[in-house]
Amino acid sequence: MSATPDRKSRLGPGDIRARKGAAPVVCLTAYTTPMAKLVDRHCDLVLVGDSVGMVMHGLSSTIGVTMEMMILHGQAVARGVSQACMVVDMPFGSYEEGREQAFRNAARLMAETGCQAVKLEGGRHMAETVAFLVQRGIPVMGHVGLTPQSVNTLGGYKVQGRGHLEADRIARDAEALAEAGAFSVVLEKLPSALGQRITREIAIPTIGIGAGVECDGQVLVVDDMLGLFADFRPKFVKRYGELGGAADAAIAAYAAEVRARAFPTPEHSFGESNPA
């Protein structure tokens, strides 16, 4: 039985911000219309993440994701979302050059997908850009800690914020985004104590992914939590299903029946007088 609260209207960035310290915010990614419809029934936030490059396109990182890819998948997800707040990631290279570039691309994402907010990575060095966007009507979700678009400078997908200096730096990053007007911030791959500290110190909701249970909400890549990839098991992901194994078994059964001429049967075939 779902614990999803009844909703009278669609959630927006303001509703998410108002959840600070209240009921935990539930967030999952989605990249297609069918998945968006499933996720929308149970989540407060639906994120069209640039993880789409790795999950759907087989890229080795998010670096190669383009604006066109984000728009295409954002449009697909928008067709399946009617209740949750929809956020689309700004891809690598679409906002780092300056606030004017960020505004042009963020405005394009919102106009062409119908999303209610954008997400971008980075801390204090992005605060001016976040403020510029918010002042011009573009709600922004921040992202600190492990920022996958910076994986080449971070030296891999490592836990961030271990040690006092690094912890203080990330905490200041999150605070800068909150002060700049972000409505929430993703905390990725941090020690639980740091996730708890940041959650207590800043005025906007924290959405954790590998940052501990004390965050104001949680997000996972939907394909990970459904177990669609047998060989990918990050520590911070709990598998709520093993759909990859079930799909593999179903495809194997289909292939075996085709090779044995056991499918299609008369039940799945048409005769001279059978209706279409």
User: Catalytic residues, which ones?
Assistant: 188
Annotated ligand binding at 158? The verdict is no
Annotated ligand binding at 192? The verdict is no
Annotated ligand binding at 15? The verdict is no
Instruction: Report the alpha-carbon distance of residue 22 to residue 187 in Å, rounded.
Output: 18
Annotated ligand binding at 216? The verdict is no
- Nearest C-alpha neighbor of 221 from the set 239, 206, 205, 203: 239
Instruction: Report the alpha-carbon distance of residue 38 to residue 15 in Å, rounded.
Output: 21
Annotated ligand binding at 112? The verdict is no
Instruction: Report the alpha-carbon distance of residue 248 to residue 128 in Å, rounded.
Output: 48
Binding residues for Mg(2+): 50, 89, 121
Binding residues for 3-methyl-2-oxobutanoate: 50-51, 89, 119
Binding residues: 50-51, 89, 119, 121
